[in-house]
Structures are given as C-alpha cells and as structure tokens.
C-alpha cells in the first residue's frame, strides 16, 4: 500500500466518488484539500465478496493489509465508515479482522449497476488517519428470468410476408453480467423463429421472425413457447406462451414517423405533464386504418409514464427521481384495427434539479474535551449530496465566533478541531452548528448541530468572597458558638471545586489561639471554643486557608480578625468612700455651710468600656430630703440650702452609682454626715448615744405639743407653762451634754477646741471619718480661708484636750 504526505487534488483520485465537494472553512470555499496532517492511502484497498454470503464471514486481515502492528487497530479505536447509515462491514472485537456485518444482496444494493462497489474508509485515531477501501459485491445467479406476463397475444395477418419481424416483450433478470439473460428460444414450429437482439442499455430482447406464410383457412391460431435463458452455471430460464391469431387480410401495418424518440425531462416535472406526442400512420382505410397506441415497459422498473391510446400523448403518471433512474427506455406500439402493429423506441433522459439537500454524517465525536489544550480533534464527519454537477458541490462552514475550525482531510471528510486552548470557566459547553450549502439553484442548506462539553482542569485557586474578614463576638459567649462563616469559591468544577478550610494559627503569639477558635473544614463556619473575656482580650487575628481537591491542589489564604465586644458584666466599684459595715464613713459638715457647699465626692470605677463604663450618680434616700443633692456626672455631694437649728445633727445618705449598660448595673454607698458648729462644740454626742438624744428630743417635742395644746385654755397658764418648759428644756440639755465620759480609744465628742472660743474657725471644711473599732479618727482640712491661728490657742486646746490629741489624725 502506498501513502504520502502532501497536496491531494480532489479530482485526481481514481477511486473517489464523482461528488465534488466544495467546503468552506471559516466561510472560505475550499476546492483543493489543504496540506494533510496525516498519512492517507493513495490507492484503495480492494476486497471482493459474493452476495448472499452469511453474516460474520471473514473478509480480510486489516492489520496485515494496512501494515500495522498487532493490536494497533484496537489501541487506535479503528472504525469502518460507509456512506449513509448502513454498516455492511465491521471489525471483530476479538481478532480485529474485517468481517461481514449483514448478508449482502447485490440487486438491492446496486440494482442493474455493474460492478457493484461499496466504498468505505478505515478511520484511525491518535493520530488521525484515513484508509480508503472498496468492497466489490460479486453477483451470483440467484434470479431466474421472468416475463411480464404468462401469455402474449399476437395478431398476424395471413398475408404477412416471410421475414417479417414481430417485436415481443422481453423478460427481466435481476442478475447482471453473465448471469443476466443471454438468449431467447421458441418452441419448434414451421412458421417462426426468434432473434435475440441487444438494446442500447445492454439488455437483450426477443423478436419473432416469420419464416413461412400463414394461412388462416388452414390454421387460424398458433401457440408457441418462448424461453429466456441466462448465462449462469447452471443456467436459469423463464418461459411465457405466445398465442398467435391469424387475421384476415390487412395490407398495411402502422408506421411511426421516427423509429427513435428522445426527450429530456427535469425530475421535478409535475404529475400529468406532457412529455412527448408520438404519431403512427396506417395506409389502410376503415377499421384497418384506425391506430391505437400502447406502451411496452419494463415491469421491474415500474416506469412512471402513460400514453393516450387515441392521441399518442405520453404523460407523467408519477414523480421522477434522478437519483434513482437517469434514463428510461420505453417501447411504443401502434395497433391498427386489423391487428397489425408498428413499433418505435422512446428514450427519456431525467435531468437533475437541486432537490436534495446536502447530508452530514458524523463518524466520530470526542466529548468532553479538556480545557487548556489546543489543537484537539473534536469530531470527524463527511458531507455528501445526492444531486449531480453543480448541485452536488457544497460549501461547509461553522460560526466564526467559535474557537473551532474545520480542516478537510480526504475526499468529503472533515475534522473539527479546537482553534487554541479553551477555558471551561468562561464557557463549559459549545453548540457547534455545521452548515453545508450546495451550489445548485436554488441553494439548499443542511445544518447539523453537535454539542461539545469542556472538561475541567484544576487551573483556578479558591477565591475568598472578601479580601479580609472582621468578625464580632460578645464576651461571655457560650462555648462552641458560631461566630461567622469564611466563604471561598472555586470556578472549577467537580472535585477541583471542592474546598476544604483550615486554620493557619501564628506560632509567635503568646495566645493559644487553637483553644479559642475552630473551623468547619467543609463549610468554613468559625466557632468560639470557650467563653471570651473582653477585659482580658479585645481582639486577635489569624489566617484561614482554603484548599481545593484538585490535582495538584491549589490554595488561598485570607486574614481574619475577631473583635470581642464588651458586655456590661461588671458593676461599678466605689473607691471612695470605702464601705465597711463595722465602721461606716462619716463626713463633717459645718452648720454655717452655704448652699452648694461640697460635702464630699463619691469616686467609682467600672472595668467595662464604652457606654457600659459611663457612670451616673443618684441620691436614693436621705434623712432630710431636699438638704443634699448629688451631681449625676461627677458624684459630688453638695448642700442645696442653708442649715438651720431645726436640722437634725446626723444625716444618713444612700447614694446609687449606676452605669449606662444594658442591662444596667449599679452599686450603692452609704454616707453619714454630721453637722457641727465648728469643731469646739459638738451638736450631738457620739454615735453610741445619738439614738438616745434623738429620743429625748422627740420626747421634748411631744411635751411642747402638750403644753401648746394646754395653753389654749388659758393665756396665763400658757405663759407659765412656756416659761417652765423652756427652763426645763435648757436644764435637761445641759445635763445630757455634760454628763457623759469618753472611753479610752474612742472619739470623745464633736468638739475640738483649737481656739480661744472653744471651736475651730468657720472658714475651714473638715472631713472626719469616725470609726468605733480602733478609736482613731481621721481628720482632713479641706479648705483654708484664714490660715492664721494663735499659737496660744492651739497649745491650750492641746492641753485641755489630751484625749483628743490621741484620737485625731491631722492630714
């Protein structure tokens, strides 16, 4: 077998089909096949097989005939491709031998065409190769000749001269060549013999020749046996009977104006259209001169014509098809009233019109195809058109916007290839429409669409939906709380797009982040593993890795920052005054204090942040409502009015410190305030006897009320009672203030005599914290208006009050 690489002219291959294909790749008509990229056979491999051979019969060893290695046919996915949808041959899946796929009937496949050749191609892949081959179906003598009728009727005048020829209907034999009809014979008789003649198409037909004149008076009819014999071995034959009626004298037989009529008819002529008018003339008169017409047609052809017996008009009675028959041979007979006949021949040539659209036959389709690989053969297909001439020439094209191109390979075969690398992420499927248009008038077009899938290659790393993530979580969260989701996408598909998430925790940090957070490897959900404390940790960062399951695996990282949000989980803490149940803190307030006088300042802190740490102060309860107020923002306790003699000497204030969180948290503090007239004369005794003094005052008040009520009865009595009551009250107060002694180690009273008047100057503010446990008091000078004191007074005060010196701490 010979092969070459190079240019291959379409019309220079001797075994190629008569079809001339014009193919347009990218809308450019190609008349000469471009440089072939594969080796192809320049000569067809020819095989022969008798018709009616059993299916599965061995035809050839393709491996040997093509010069291939053993097993190469299977490895390269060899295929046998015929035109059309029939598959007459196949490769044995075990031996790779070429075997029959079905019984072949030559008459069905080729009709009367001889030789009967079926062209096919062997298609190999990797690399793509075509081998051209032919299978010749050899005729066997499986059909006997058959006449169209069992009996023929001839009417012959008794005056017919010897040597006159009478045409007979010929027999039909579906076989061809030597197996077709070779001769005709007639049974022995004294009047006739048969001549075997050849028609223009090669078929043989009989003619009856008169050897001896007939005499109607002796014999008015004869019966002869006509036999057709083929050339098979052994020969087959068919017979019919000829009945001859001897007619009375009819001197002239009809004669046609032409012995041969020829007409050309387009195949798309409508039924009933007039093809031709034949005319015969008879010189006789009367009934012997009247002519009627008839057609003598091949019964096997079922010729689509009819004739008007009176006028000789031949019309179309069924549709013509150029692709089935290009020529028809019809015998026209003219019969007069005396039984004499005349004959002429009519040859009808069917002209082709463009009534067949091109056909696309897909031989191989490779789908899906991998992305990123250029020059992949996607499909192998052939185009054909059953018409002829220009009607058979075709143009082949695909859409310019697709990344594919057409390459002609051999004869009418084409390959569809990728024009560069494909990107599945841009487009995963292509619907490619192959358009084939013939060059006839009007032009006919066929479109064949193939769908090509693009398979994925792992060429895209996962991509996060954000460049970085900031997640917020409230402190004191429950363990395993879902705090957020890290999401990444992969434009690949299948396992290449399956993403697994993991944490990339920093190694140089002192925080054990692995104990703080975890991530779901499948969906990227982040969880806090334990409760977080804002006061201990406000924020931390780490990276999340997203890796796909492709080969090789691709990954991406993203920064994640977790911010802990403060909750109001800390109540305010009072720093001053400090709370001690056994020794509450007491502040001293001069009775001469002006309104707005600063008694003390409550100091508190809150370990929360933001609005949770915004503190406000409130006076909840006071012994004397309206005397004191607390500034809400700074905690300063101030007087709201002037003090009077009727104000009780000791006041208890309950202060509330609250934050601005939700829920609000608070703390309370109790403050005692003692009213003093300077520091020389206390207004009340020690806290131990304060309750007794209050009770005495209340008793005295009750007494005042009783005396006041009694004074109504008598003004005199009222004056006396008031005088006595006042005297008694003063006496009682003097006795109650002077009759107590101060135990060692306790604060003796409210007087500190540091001046000649026995009290401190009113220009000072004092804060005194009295405690009963240690006997030591705290004394603080807040503000000095006149700091100059006589030293003598100080010394005397010290001498007169040695106990006070041991009980106060001056700061």
Q: β-pairing, 29-30 with 274-277?
A: unpaired
pLDDT category at 29 given cuts 50, 70, 90 is: very low
Q: What is the pLDDT of residues 273-288, one digit of tens each?
A: 999 999 999 887 778 8
pLDDT at 3: 34
Q: What average pLDDT does the segment 641-660 reach?
A: 88
pLDDT above 70 covers a percentage of the chain that reads 78
485 vs 709, more confident: 485
Can you tell me the mean pLDDT for 161-190?
Answer: 89
Asked whether the predicted pLDDT for residue 255 surpasses 60, the reply is: yes
Does residue 115 have a pLDDT over 70?
yes
| Section 513-540 average pLDDT | 90
Extract the tokens encoding 138: 């050899």
The CB density around residue 619, as the number of other CB atoms within 10 Å, is 17
Average pLDDT over residues 789-795: 35
More confident residue, 102 or 4: 102
pLDDT of residue 297: 67
Residue 571 has pLDDT above 90, yes or no: no
Averaged over 97-108, what is the pLDDT?
88
Q: Please check whether residue 796 is in contact with residue 767, taking contact to mean a CB–CB distance below 8 angstroms.
A: no
Pick from 229-243, 427-441, 762-776: least confident: 762-776
pLDDT tens readout for residues 603-622: 988 888 888 888 999 888 98
Given pLDDT bands bounded at 50, 70 and 90, which one contains residue 742? very low
Percent of the chain scoring above 90 in pLDDT: 26
Is-contact 742 686, C-beta < 8 A?
Answer: yes
Beta bridge partners of 156: 246
pLDDT of residue 810 exceeding 70, the answer is no
Measured CA to CA, the distance from residue 475 to residue 532 in angstroms comes to 5
Greater model confidence, 578 or 337: 337
Rounded to an integer, what distance in angstroms lies between the CA atom of residue 503 and that of residue 107?
78
Per residue in 59-102, pLDDT tens?
A: 999 888 888 888 888 888 888 888 777 888 989 888 889 999 88
**Average pLDDT, integer, range 209-222:** 87
pLDDT score recorded for residue 437: 92
- The pLDDT, as a whole number, for residue 710 is 65
Q: What is the mean predicted confidence (pLDDT) over 774-790?
A: 37
Residue range 346-369: mean pLDDT, rounded = 89
Q: What is the mean pLDDT of residues 99-111?
A: 86
Instruction: State residue 581's pLDDT score.
Output: 52
pLDDT at 755: 33
What is the Cβ-side half-sphere exposure of residue 778, based on CA atoms within 13 angstroms?
A: 12
What's the order of all strands across the beta sheet hosting 808-810? 764-769, 777-784, 808-810
Element (H, E) at 696: helix 690-710
What pLDDT does residue 374 have? Answer: 85
Average pLDDT in the 751-778 region?
37
The candidate with the shortest Cα–Cα distance to 393, out of 436, 352, 350, 349, is 436
Contact 235, 184 (CB under 8 A): no
Residue 162: the pLDDT is 92
- C-alpha 262: how far from chain center: 66
The average pLDDT across 691-720 equals 61
Strands 129-138, 45-50: pairing is parallel
Give me the mean pLDDT over the 264-274 stretch: 92
Kindly report the average pLDDT of the chain as a whole number. Answer: 78
- 287-329 confidence digits (pLDDT tens): 888 899 998 766 556 778 999 999 999 999 999 988 888 888 8
Alpha-carbon Rg of the chain, whole angstroms? 66
Kindly report, residue by residue over 579-595, the tens digit of the pLDDT: 665 566 788 889 888 89
CA–CA distance, 226 with 146 (Å, rounded to integer): 11
Q: What is the mean pLDDT of residues 404-427?
A: 87
Least confident of 156-165, 432-441, 798-807: 798-807
pLDDT on residue 485: 95
What is the average pLDDT across 556-573? 89
Tokens of residue 36, six digits: 């072939």
Lowest pLDDT segment from 26-35, 453-462, 569-578: 26-35
Query: In the predicted model, what is the mean pLDDT of residues 99-108?
Result: 87
Instruction: Provide the terminal-to-terminal Cα distance of the chain, rounded to the nearest Å.
Output: 126
Q: For residues 629 and 157, give the distance between their C-alpha atoms in angstroms, rounded to a whole number.
A: 160
pLDDT of the residue at 508: 62
pLDDT at 721: 75
Would the pTM of this model clear 0.75, i.e. be above it? Answer: no
DSSP 44-75: -EEEEEETTPPTT-EEE-HHHHTTPPTTHHHH
Q: Is a pLDDT exceeding 50 seen at residue 36? A: no
Which region holds residue 646: left if phi is over 0, alpha if psi is between -120 and 50, else beta?
Answer: alpha
Bigger pLDDT: 23 vs 335: 335
CA 252 to each of CA 160, 295, 807: distance values in angstroms, whole numbers, following the listed order:
10, 21, 180
Q: What is the pLDDT of residue 638?
A: 93
pLDDT tens sequence across 184-215 = 999 999 999 999 998 887 888 999 999 998 88
Distance of CA 672 to the CA centre of its chain: 79
- What the block records as the tokens of 418 is 């990728």
- Is the model's pLDDT at 757 over the cut of 60? no
């Amino acid at each position: 077998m010979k092969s070459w690489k190079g240019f291959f002219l379409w019309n220079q291959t001797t075994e190629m089909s008569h079809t001339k294909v014009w193919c347009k790749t990218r809308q450019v008509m190609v008349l000469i096949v471009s440089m072939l990229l594969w080796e192809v056979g320049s000569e067809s491999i020819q095989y022969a097989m008798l018709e009616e051979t059993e299916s599965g019969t061995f035809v050839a060893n393709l491996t040997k005939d093509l010069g291939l290695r053993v097993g190469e046919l299977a490895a390269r996915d060899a295929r046998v491709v015929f035109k059309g949808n029939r598959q007459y041959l196949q490769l044995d899946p075990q031996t790779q031998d070429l075997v029959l796929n079905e019984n072949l009937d030559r008459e069905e496949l080729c009709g009367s065409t001889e030789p009967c050749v079926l062209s096919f191609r062997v298609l190999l892949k990797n690399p793509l190769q075509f081998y051209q081959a032919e299978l010749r179906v050899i005729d066997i003598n499986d059909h006997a000749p058959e006449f169209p009728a069992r009996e023929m009727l001839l009417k012959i005048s008794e005056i017919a001269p010897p040597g006159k020829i009478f045409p007979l209907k010929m027999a039909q034999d579906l076989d061809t060549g030597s197996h077709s009809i070779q001769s005709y014979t007639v049974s022995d008789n004294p009047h006739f013999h048969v001549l075997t003649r050849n028609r223009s198409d090669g078929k043989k037909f009989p003619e009856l020749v008169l050897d001896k004149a007939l005499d109607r008076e002796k014999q008015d009819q004869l019966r002869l046996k006509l036999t057709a014999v083929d050339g098979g071995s052994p020969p087959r034959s068919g017979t019919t009977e000829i009945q001859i009626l001897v007619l009375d004298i009819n001197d002239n037989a009809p004669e046609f104006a032409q012995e041969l009529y020829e007409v050309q008819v387009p195949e798309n002529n409508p039924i009933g259209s007039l093809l031709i008018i034949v005319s015969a003339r008879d010189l006789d008169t009367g009934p012997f001169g009247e002519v009627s017409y008839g057609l003598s047609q091949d019964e096997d052809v079922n010729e689509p014509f009819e004739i008007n017996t009176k006028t000789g008009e031949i019309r179309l009675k069924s549709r013509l098809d150029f692709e089935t028959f290009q020529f028809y041979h019809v015998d026209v007979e003219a019969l007069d009233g005396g039984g004499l006949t005349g004959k002429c021949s009519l040859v009808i040539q069917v002209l082709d019109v463009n009534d067949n659209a091109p056909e696309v036959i897909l031989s191989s389709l490779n789908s899906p195809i991998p992305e990123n690989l250029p020059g992949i053969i996607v499909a192998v297909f052939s185009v054909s058109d059953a018409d002829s001439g220009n009607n058979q020439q075709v143009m082949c094209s695909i859409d310019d916007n697709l990344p594919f191109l057409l390459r002609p390979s051999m004869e009418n075969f084409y390959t569809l290839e990728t024009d560069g690398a494909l990107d599945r992420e841009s487009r995963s499927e292509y619907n490619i429409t192959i358009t084939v248009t013939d060059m006839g008038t009007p032009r006919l077009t066929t479109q064949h669409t193939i769908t090509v899938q693009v398979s994925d290659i792992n060429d895209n790393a996962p991509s996060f939906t954000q460049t970085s993530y900031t997640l917020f979580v409230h402190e004191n969260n429950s363990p395993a709380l879902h705090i957020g989701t890290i999401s990444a996408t992969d434009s690949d598909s299948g396992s290449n797009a399956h993403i697994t998430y993991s944490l990339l925790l920093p190694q140089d940090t002192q925080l054990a982040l692995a104990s703080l957070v975890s991530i779901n490897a499948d969906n990227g959900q982040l969880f806090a593993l334990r409760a977080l404390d804002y006061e201990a940790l406000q924020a931390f960062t780490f990276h999340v890795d997203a890796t796909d399951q492709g080969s090789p695996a691709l990954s991406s990282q993203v920064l994640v920052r977790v911010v802990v949000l403060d909750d109001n989980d800390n109540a305010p803490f009072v720093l001053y005054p400090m709370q001690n149940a056994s020794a509450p803190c007491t502040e001293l307030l001069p009775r001469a204090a002006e309104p707005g006088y600063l008694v003390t300042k409550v100091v508190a802190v809150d370990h929360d942040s933001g609005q949770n740490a915004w503190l406000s102060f409130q006076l909840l309860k006071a012994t004397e409502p309206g005397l004191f107020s607390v500034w809400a923002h700074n905690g300063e306790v101030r007087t709201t009015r002037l003090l009077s003699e009727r104000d009780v000497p000791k006041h208890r204030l309950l202060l509330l410190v609250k934050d601005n969180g939700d829920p609000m948290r608070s703390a309370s503090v109790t403050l005692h305030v003692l009213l003093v007239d300077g520091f020389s004369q206390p207004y009340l005794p020690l806290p131990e006897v304060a309750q007794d003094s209050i009770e005495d005052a209340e008793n005295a008040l009750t007494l005042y009320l009783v005396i006041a009520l009694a004074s109504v009865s008598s003004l005199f009595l009222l004056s006396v009672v008031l005088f006595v009551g006042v005297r008694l009250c003063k006496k009682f107060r003097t006795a109650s203030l002077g009759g107590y002694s101060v135990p060692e180690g306790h604060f003796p009273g409210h007087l500190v005599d540091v001046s000649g008047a026995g009290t401190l100057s009113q220009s000072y503010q004092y804060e005194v914290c009295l405690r009963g446990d240690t006997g030591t008091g705290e004394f603080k000078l807040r503000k000095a208006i006149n700091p100059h004191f006589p030293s003598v007074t100080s010394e005397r005060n010290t001498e007169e009050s040695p106990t006070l010196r041991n009980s106060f701490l001056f700061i």
